[in-house]
Amino acid sequence: LTATHVHAEQWSGEDVGVGDVVMALCRLREASAHETEGPDMRTSVMTHLAWVPPEWEEAAVETLAGLGERHPSRGILLFPQPEADDGIDANISVLAFPLREQRRHIAAEVIELRLRGRTCEAPASIVNPLLVPAIPVFLRWRGRPGFGEQHAEQLVEVCDRLIVDSREWPDVPQAYAQLPFDRAACSDIAWRRTEPWRRSLARLWPGIAELEKLRVQGPIAEASLLAGWLRSRLDREVVLEHDEAEELTAVDVDGDACPVPKERPTSSDLLSGELDEFSRDRVYEAAARAAATF
């Protein structure tokens, strides 16, 4: 839970049904009313859905903690445990965040569901009753989505925007070809990480117009996306030379160093930035398609 919320109501249960979760949410919101002038306001701008395989659990919870105050919506975290016995375990929190100059609070709901056994195969049937109606659904997929697999396809159908971090994928740049651009708006945190560098590169216009060779020191995902972006935007072949590194640290344009940007966004900042976007990012789509051919 986050350091900035003022109070939290919690409920948990094992082997629960979705109806139990809905009822528990209602009770928790009513319970939050006792300290303030009325129930905490639920000012939802989205449902934030996350598919979190075990190896990503710690990182996901950490990022969510940084997000709670900025995007106080309904968050549904799905932790798949396909090897366990069938069933659903739930842990629900209603967090109250203060409103400036007011006694009232706003409520953020976090629903953590452990999907055990065969329930992993039908996540949409579990998630659909829990979505806040008539507002967008953002699906954050930790790790590499198994595009074409039943659970992944179901959740892509449910969401309006799919958020991935292709740095977490073992098979970039080829995997970019599988992104479901035709079914959901897609965004990529690796792409967001390149933004400060893209700004720096954009400032080199028009000198960069005849670019031939891009050298990038950083993860392959960001390197491929930067090269794909330049290829698609400049509409010309761009050769990518890549030196592996944990972070994007240097970009050379035909042998000249691009000014290093000062911005260093946190992982919460990066996801938050993606959650602020509601429409298709066609510049990213073109960059990813171009990157897939490297």
Q: Which residues bind other proteins (CB under 8 A)?
A: 41, 43, 45, 69-72, 97, 99-102, 106, 195, 198-199, 201-208, 229-230, 233-235, 253-254, 256, 258-259, 263, 281-284
> Minimum distance between the CB of residue 79 and other proteins, rounded to whole angstroms?
26
The DSSP call for residue 9 is E
| C-alpha closest to that of 112 among 14, 189, 38, 183 | 14
> Minimum distance between the CB of residue 77 and other proteins, rounded to whole angstroms?
20
> Minimum distance between the CB of residue 254 and other proteins, rounded to whole angstroms?
8
Nearer to other proteins by Cβ, of 16 and 190: the residue is: 190
Nearer to other proteins by Cβ, of 84 and 99: the residue is: 99
Nearer to other proteins by Cβ, of 102 and 266: the residue is: 102
> Minimum distance between the CB of residue 236 and other proteins, rounded to whole angstroms?
11
Pairwise CA distance, residues 114 & 14, whole Å: 9
* Residue 56 tokens, joined: 């990503």
Show Cβ contacts of residue 235 under 8 Å, excluding neighbours closer than 6 positions: none
> Minimum distance between the CB of residue 102 and other proteins, rounded to whole angstroms?
6
168, 157, 282, 175 alpha-carbon torsion, rounded to 10°: 40
Q: Residue 67, Cβ neighbours under 10 Å: how many?
A: 22
* Residue 114 tokens, joined: 């452990």
Pairwise CA distance, residues 206 & 278, whole Å: 31
The DSSP call for residue 41 is B
